[in-house]
Amino acid sequence: MQKKRRVSEFIIDETLLKVEENYVWLWIVIEPIDKVVLGIRIFIERSMLVAEQFIQKLCTEYGKHPVYTDGGTWYPQACKFLKLEHRLHSSF
């Protein structure tokens, strides 16, 4: 039996990648205390619905936690719908 991972919060970001002739969005979430990648997904779009689906899967697996993002407009609405606290993070 696998031990349940301790999670304090989700830090989520996404980046655009070119794969051959197509562009895709790579979404990633880390847990900052243990510096562990909790999830990676590839989507063809970046939207509130995609953010919601990604975060919902994380909540199902790890429970509900505050979500830190870089200020993308799709995150606050997704977090509000999922009843999660949304916070902005900065690399500075």
Residue 80 · residue 53 · CB < 8 Å: no
Residue 48 makes CB contacts below 8 A (sequence gap 6+) with 73, 74, 77, 78
pLDDT tens-digit series, residues 19-40: 999 999 999 999 988 889 999 9
What's the rounded Cα separation, in Å, for the pair 71 and 62? 23
pLDDT tens-digit series, residues 36-57: 999 999 999 999 999 999 999 9
The full set of domain ranges for the chain reads 10-88
pTM above 0.85, yes or no: yes
Which CATH fold would you assign to the domain 10-88? Nucleotidyltransferase; domain 5 (3.30.420)
